[in-house]
Each structure stands twice: as structure tokens, then as C-alpha cells.
Amino acid sequence: MDEHDSSRDFWTRMALDRTSGAPRPAVGSVEASARIDVLDDEIAAIAYALAAVKTRRNALVRAAVLPPEVLARIFEIVRDIEPIGRKSEGYKSLGWYRITRICGHWRRAAVQHATLWGKLTLEVQQSGLWEAFRTRAGNAPVDIYLSLGHYEQIQESLTLEAISRTMTAFGEVISHSTSLVRSLTIEADTTPFESRSEEGRLEMHPSALEALLPLLLHKPADRLKRLVLLALPSFDGNIDAQMNTLSAHVSSFLKQYAPSLENVMLQGFPFPWDAYSKSHIRRLKLAQNIGGGANGRYLKYNFPSILEYLRESPQLEELDLEVSLPFPHATANEEPTIALPRMKYLRLVGASDTHFALWRLLRVHTDARSIVVLHEVDNMFDFPSISHCLTEHIHRNEFDYDTLQLSALSLRGGYEGTPSLIIDLFDKSRKLYRPRVIYSQDRFVGLEGSHHPGFHIALIGVSDHNAFDAGASDVESDLTDTNLDPAPFHPRRPRTIFRCGPSIVKEVLSSVEMSHLRSLKLSTRLDMGCPWTARFLRSILKRATALEHIRLDVSMRDLIVSAANALKPNADASRPPPAPALRTLYVENAVFDWNGGEPQPVIFNEMLEQRSQRHLGPRKLKLRRCKMGNEPWATQWRALVEKVIWDGYGTDVVGQVGDVETSDWAASDEENVSPMLPEEDVEDDWWSL
């Protein structure tokens, strides 16, 4: 018998000896009830003894004897990763709070670390732990996160009584502990709560914003560093008067009671530009999308006030404006430039004329990520000015770039499917930032470039489809390039911005030096057609003499045809070929099926043959989610390209791919992989809830 069996037998015999007694009484009898009480006492004693043994055992484990200050830091990380209230298998979990139940040493380290208990959320209040958190936090800084969502969601998940308790709990902290609040986030609908009285009458109760925002007044918030107030979109037609009152509260608070603010995000509330001259604010985000349809609320700011504020705020590191700006005065172009040497993130979204006028005045950090989304663009817009501004920003900041992405798509969500042209120009060799969403309802557009310093320029056309009736549908090309497909581009919506897409983008990029490029990505979507014609692409590829990688995210057969024709070498071998340094061609979502009568596999094959004959590459061809039909195109191209990688999409058995590799199709199409971010630069978006 080993030692383990001996120990088990010993404690089993002892437990049985302690709990053996008179014959078992009848179930439900008085004797049975008394016997249960005795056994419960024995179980409690055994549990106590077991806990004592576990304490001795834990004392020999390194994690259980770590210094309290080390454990405290670990617990803070766990708190942010595993918040209280996260659902697991249909049930709400206690999340990080479970660490207090691991062992006595951990519990003491957690309870005595006041900062750990300062993060107050709706889930903490609903879990019944609110008083414990408030007591243990003491006088430590408090971070308040109240995210209620839309009115309908609240009414479904909380009773009016529960809502009242929530407002009371958070109101008490805001009213009596304002000086301790370090971060305040309130996200709520502006719709008042409804209930029925005992007599059946409909009663209205203040919304969360109405109940809490007035409590901010007349109380200095000297520790407050971060303020996020989000009034969610409401379809209530009577929000104007309510929002005007709440906006007055917010403006008064910002002007008088929050002198140390560094991060501010407001949605639906005005920002008092004139009250923050020479402030400490480093990150500022303003949005206005409050209300729906005709009841939308739009906040308009004074253009000179914004300029004056920015001139007095060289400490700004991030600026995000998705608000209405008035048309600048006639002499705005003569305004002196505004230097923001620390700004590394700039996002301007709004009317084309006003937001472009602001962008052209700003001078930001050399490694900045600049995003300019211009609405209501028509064929009368001054596109050469965008080119001049972009080139000036590049030259003035000595910005180096290696990647160009061109996207033609209709943005989903609030832009009503309006055709848009998007230009991304960035330095992919430097991965400086965490990914950041540009369009909340189309989250993947522009996401790849958000890691890197550079520019994202979106031209969103006007909704009037007659605005682009004039203008050529293609751009001029060298007539000696006889391999180009002469067929003109016919967009599916013929009078949208796509009609003039090639000429517009050519104008915008006319002064951008293409010899720096190492990567080119072209994207389209199924519903809009492809404006990237062969003639247009040819004009870029002839200038991109160092281009090594091309990626086609197809969705439209036209892009394959255009790209293949553009990549064909000149009939005259003495003329410089397009993309002479091409190494990798990555194609995604294409259909190479000759049975359907489509020309793309034949034209694509001709391009590979002609480039192979001239030793122009590519050396690697990568095909992802590409349908091949019955023709063995992937295998055939193996004779023309050193390495063909295909995921076998559309085939039932991988063996059908033949001698084409299938194991490495998901690998990066580029070799200039960015280094890992240093730990101090890895930071979540500061406005994330």
C-alpha cells in the first residue's frame, strides 16, 4: 500500500468513526433532523481542517507567496481581462472577483489594494458587490463606467426598480465623491423611462443622462482625467429641448469644474472651445450623430474658434472630429498653418469643403496616422488641391511610405450605400499603433492601414447620381501600349463617383512619388463595379519601379481583367515594363472558370506567359478562395511561376490541386514584417467602454 492510499484510508476511517452512531433514523423524523445537524457540524469542521491543510500546502507554491504589490498589479490586469458580469454558458460570471476566493494570501492582497476596487460598473452594482467595492476603495481614485445602451434594451433587461437603484448608487458616487473620480464614462439613451401607476396611468421618469449630469455641477473634479459622455441616437422627436438643457450642464462642468482633463469624448454634446485655451487635453473626440431621420441633432461649431483652440493646444496627441463645421471664410486658405508636433492620430469626417479646409492648415507629427473622410463630393470638387495638400504633408514631414491601397466600394451603414473611393498610403514597415476602426458600421475598411503611420483619404460621392454625368470614364494612356483592353469602364451605377474614379484618383495621386512603393492592394465590392481600369493601373505600375507585391481583393471579374492587362509588358521590348520588380501576386475571391465564357483566366494566363518570357515575375502566385472550374489553371501556372500556392477552394479533395502547394497559402504576401510593438506603445483605444 502506497503512502497516498494509507492517508486516504486513515482519514476515511476517522471520518466514519466520527460520524457513526445509532441506527439510521426514519427520514423526516425528529431524530433524523437532529442527526442532520450533527453531520453538518462535522462537515463544517472537516472543511475547516481541510482549509488549514490547503494553507500549508499553498505556502509551498510560489504564486501563493508572491509579494502583495506584485499580486496587486496582476489582479489589476485580470480585472480588465475578466470583468464582472461577462456571460459564460448563459450565466453572468463574477469574473475577476473569484481571485479573492483562491487563498487567504491572495484575498488579503486584493482586499488591501484599494485601487483594485475603484472601477465601478453597472455589472458591479447588479452583482450585489457595490457596497463592498465602495468600502474597500476608500479614498482611492474611482473610475465610473455606466453603459446602459438604448432605451429598449434597458426596459427589457432591468425593471424600473432596478433602474432606480442603479441611478441612486451612481448618483451617490458622483455627488459625494466627485473629487475622487478619475474617469467618468456614461453611455445612455436620452429617452425618459416609462412605468404604469397602480391606477394604470403612464408615468415618465428622467433618463439616465437627465438624472446624473446635473449632479456634476458645483463640485470640483480635480482628479478627473478622462471624460466620455455618449448620448445614444434617439428617435424621440422631442429631444432638442432636453439636449439643450443637458448640453448646458456639460458645458458648465467643462468650463468650471474639470481643470485637469486629458481625454475627452463627447457625442451629442457641444465642446466649449473658448474655455480650454492652453488646457491639458491630449486626446479629443467629438461626434454628433444624435437622433434619427428628420429629428437628427447636428452640432455646428464656429470655424475660427476651432482654429484658435488648436493654435493654443500644441500638446494635442489625438484629434477626432465627426461634426458639422461651418463653411470657412473666404480667406481661410491664407490662415497661417497650425503646428501640432505631438499629434499622432488625426481623424476628420464631414463635409468635403470644410473638413478639407481644416486639414490643409494642420501640421502633425511625422509618424501620424491622418484620416480625412470627405462627404458630398461631386465632380466640381477641387481634386488637385487634395493632391497638393497630400504632397505637401508628405514633403514637409519627410514622410516615407511603401504601401498604396485603393478601394472602390459602397460604405455600409450610415452612408446609405453611397459609392466611395478610398486611398490608403502608409509605411507598412513600421507597425506603431493598435488597430483602430475608422467606420463604426463598416469596421474592416481601412483597418489594415490603421497600424501604420500614413494617410487614409475617403471621397464619398453625393447621393445625386447625376452629379457625375460629365467626365471621362477612363484616363489617357500611352497609345503604344497595344496590350491594353480598349473596352471602356461601364459602372453598374453609371453616374456615380465611380464613373470618374480613375481620373479623380489619378489627379489626387499625380504628385505622389510612386517609386517608393513596395506594395499595392486593390479592392472592390460586388455591388458597384470596378473603376480600376487597365489604363489607370498602367499609369501607376509604370511609375512603381520598386513595386514587389500586388494584392487583388477581387469580388468583381473586371479587376482581374484590368490588372492582368495592366501588368502585361509592352509589345515594344525596349520600353520599360510595368512593375519590373514584382515578386508576389496575391489574388483573393477570383473566379477562373472558362466554362462560363468569362475571359479572366485566359487574359490572366497570357499576362503570366508574357511576363515569364521577359523574366519579370512574379516569383510567387498566391490564390485564396479562388474558384478554378474544371480547368487545371493553378497547375498550369506552376510552369510559369516559381511557386504557386492555392488553398484548393471549391475542391472536395486537396489532392485535386495536383502539384501546387496548399500548405502555405495563408502566409504573409510580404517579407517586410513589422517588429513587435514595444510594451509601452501597446494601449487600448482610450475611449473604449
Full DSSP string of 315-341: T--EEEEESB-PPPPTTGGGSPPEE-T
Q: Helix, strand, or coil here: 187? A: strand
CB-based burial, 493-508: b 16+ in 10 Å, e otherwise:
bebbbbbbbbbbbbbb
DSSP character for 488?
Answer: P
Of the pLDDT bands very low, low, confident and very high (cuts 50, 70, 90), residue 683 is very low
Single pTM value for the model: 0.82
Range(s) for CATH 3.80.10 in the chain? 509-657
Q: What is the pLDDT of residue 582?
A: 95
Contact between 446 and 455 (Cβ < 8 Å): no
DSSP character for 173?
Answer: H
Q: Name which of 14-28, 61-75, 559-573 the model is least confident about.
A: 14-28
Q: Helix, strand, or coil here: 592? A: coil
Is the confidence at residue 14, as pLDDT, over 80?
yes
Q: Helix, strand, or coil here: 98? A: helix
Of the pLDDT bands very low, low, confident and very high (cuts 50, 70, 90), residue 665 is very low
Cell numbers linked to 658: 495536383
SS3 content of the chain, % helix, strand, coil (to 5): 35, 20, 45
Q: What is the pLDDT of residue 231?
A: 87
**Tens of pLDDT, residues 552-601:** 987 667 788 889 999 999 888 888 899 999 999 999 888 887 655 557 88
Residue type, 64: A
Is the confidence at residue 353, as pLDDT, over 60?
yes
What's the rounded Cα separation, in Å, for the pair 504 and 458?
Answer: 12
Q: Which residues pair with 290 in a beta bridge?
A: 297
Contact between 414 and 296 (Cβ < 8 Å): no
Which residue in 173, 191, 278 sits closest to 233, CA to CA? 191
Cell numbers linked to 555: 469580388
Using CA of residue 631, residue 633, residue 634, residue 637, what is the dihedral sign? Answer: positive
What φ, ψ does residue 400 adopt, rounded to 5°?
-105, 135
Collect all residues with Cβ–Cβ distance below 8 Å to 8 and sequence separation of at least 6: none
What's the rounded Cα separation, in Å, for the pair 55 and 64?
Answer: 9
| Other Cβ atoms within 10 Å of 279 Cβ, number | 20
Q: What is the pLDDT of residue 689?
A: 33
Between 337 and 380, the more confident residue is 337
Work out the mean pLDDT of the chain and round it to a whole number: 80
Cell numbers linked to 69: 504589490
Which residue in 385, 384, 339 sits closest to 363, CA to CA? 339
Residue type, 523: S
Contact between 386 and 508 (Cβ < 8 Å): yes
**Tens of pLDDT, residues 266-321:** 998 889 887 766 678 999 999 876 544 334 455 677 888 888 899 999 999 999 99
Is the confidence at residue 1, as pLDDT, over 70?
no
| Other Cβ atoms within 10 Å of 43 Cβ, number | 12
| Other Cβ atoms within 10 Å of 320 Cβ, number | 19
Percent of the chain scored above 90 by pLDDT?
30
Q: What integer is the mean pLDDT of 434-445?
A: 83
Is the confidence at residue 170, as pLDDT, over 80?
yes
Largest CA distance in the chain: 109
Q: What integer is the mean pLDDT of 134-159?
A: 80
Cell numbers linked to 179: 473629487
Return the H-helix or E-strand segment holding 196: strand 193-196
**Range with top average pLDDT, 287-291, 342-346, 486-490, 658-662:** 342-346
H helices, E strands: number in the chain: 18, 23
Q: What is the pLDDT of residue 318?
A: 95
Q: Name which of 93-97, 573-577, 667-671 the model is least confident about.
A: 667-671
Task: Tell me the three-class secondary structure of 349-396, residue by residue.
Answer: EEEHHHHHHHHCCEECCCCCEEEEEEEEECCCCCHHHHHHHHHHHHHH
**Tens of pLDDT, residues 205-227:** 788 888 899 998 888 999 999 99
Q: What is the pLDDT of residue 657?
A: 46
Domain 509-657 has CATH 3.30.40: no
Which residue in 128, 151, 262 sits closest to 205, CA to CA? 151
Which residue in 269, 241, 155, 130 sits closest to 205, CA to CA? 155
Is the confidence at residue 365, as pLDDT, over 60?
yes
What φ, ψ does residue 558 adopt, rounded to 5°?
-60, -35
Sole residue written with cell 496590350:
483
Q: What is the pLDDT of residue 15?
A: 82
Residue type, 260: S
Of the pLDDT bands very low, low, confident and very high (cuts 50, 70, 90), residue 607 is very high
Is the confidence at residue 476, as pLDDT, over 90?
no
Task: Tell me the three-class secondary structure of 13-50, residue by residue.
Answer: HHHHHHHCCCCCCCCCCHHHHHHHHHHHHHHHHHHHHH
Between 584 and 157, the more confident residue is 584
Q: Which residues pair with 682 in a beta bridge?
A: none
Q: What is the pLDDT of residue 316?
A: 94
Cell numbers linked to 155: 426596459
Q: What is the pLDDT of residue 597?
A: 54
What's the rounded Cα separation, in Å, for the pair 635 and 664?
Answer: 16
Is the confidence at residue 545, as pLDDT, over 90?
yes
Q: What is the pLDDT of residue 89?
A: 56
Which residue in 335, 181, 371, 334 sits closest to 257, CA to CA? 181
Between 470 and 545, the more confident residue is 545
| Other Cβ atoms within 10 Å of 65 Cβ, number | 12
Sole residue written with cell 474592416:
444
Cell numbers linked to 475: 484616363
Q: What is the pLDDT of residue 330?
A: 58
Q: Which residues pair with 406 in a beta bridge?
A: 423, 522
Which residue in 371, 426, 430 sits closest to 404, CA to CA? 426
Q: What integer is the mean pLDDT of 140-156?
A: 78
Cell numbers linked to 14: 476517522
What's the rounded Cα separation, in Å, for the pair 271 and 85?
Answer: 33
Contact between 445 and 407 (Cβ < 8 Å): yes
Contact between 495 and 466 (Cβ < 8 Å): yes
